[in-house]
């Protein structure tokens, strides 16, 4: 077991954008929109969590290279019609390897944090989460500049 050897590669600008969604009960979405979540504002707090998660990726994924990130940008939106919250993370770095794992980790941990902040409103009478679902986590774009 080992990391991929990137020693011979040139550091170039790299960017990845990932997104995903969490489905929630309509009542929970209303609480988020209205600012009535007991633990605080899940949108604001989760943006910070997503930023921190991108930076912690090599700790969570031990074969992932430790990359100095140039920029992490989190966007979170509410889709009331589909009863879900969307998360998008754009990560960039000048590095020898891509930043897809950082973007995916950022989105996934952000979604988990939203779940944690609203879970008390999502539970049924048995303590289960019949409507709560994290879905469609994926890379939507990636870019690598040509070496100069």
Nearest to 4 by CA among 139, 98, 145: 98
Residue among 5, 41, 79, 116 flagged as catalytic: 116
Can you tell me the distance from the alpha carbon of 60 to that of 132, in angstroms, rounded to the nearest whole number? 24
Reduced DSSP (H G I as helix, E B as strand, rest coil) percent helix, strand, coil of the chain, to 5? 35, 30, 35
Nearest-5° angle of CA 65, CA 68, CA 71?
125
Our answer to whether residue 124 is catalytic in this structure is: no
Contact 71, 95 (CB under 8 A): no
Residues with active-site annotation: 116
């Amino acid at each position: 077991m080992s990391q991929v050897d990137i020693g011979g590669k040139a550091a170039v600008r790299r960017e990845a954008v990932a997104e995903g969604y969490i489905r929630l009960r309509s009542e929970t979405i209303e609480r988020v929109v209205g600012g009535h979540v007991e633990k605080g504002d899940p949108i604001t707090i989760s943006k910070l969590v997503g930023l921190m998660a991108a930076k912690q990726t090599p700790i969570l994924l031990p074969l992932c290279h430790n990359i100095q990130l140039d920029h992490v940008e989190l966007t979170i939106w509410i889709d009331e019609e589909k009863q879900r919250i969307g998360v998008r993370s754009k990560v960039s770095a000048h590095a020898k390897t891509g930043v897809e794992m950082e973007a995916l980790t950022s989105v996934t941990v952000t979604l988990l944090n939203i779940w944690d902040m609203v879970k008390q409103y999502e539970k049924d009478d048995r303590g289960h989460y019949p409507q709560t679902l994290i879905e469609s986590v994926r890379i939507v774009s990636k870019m690598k500049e040509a070496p100069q």
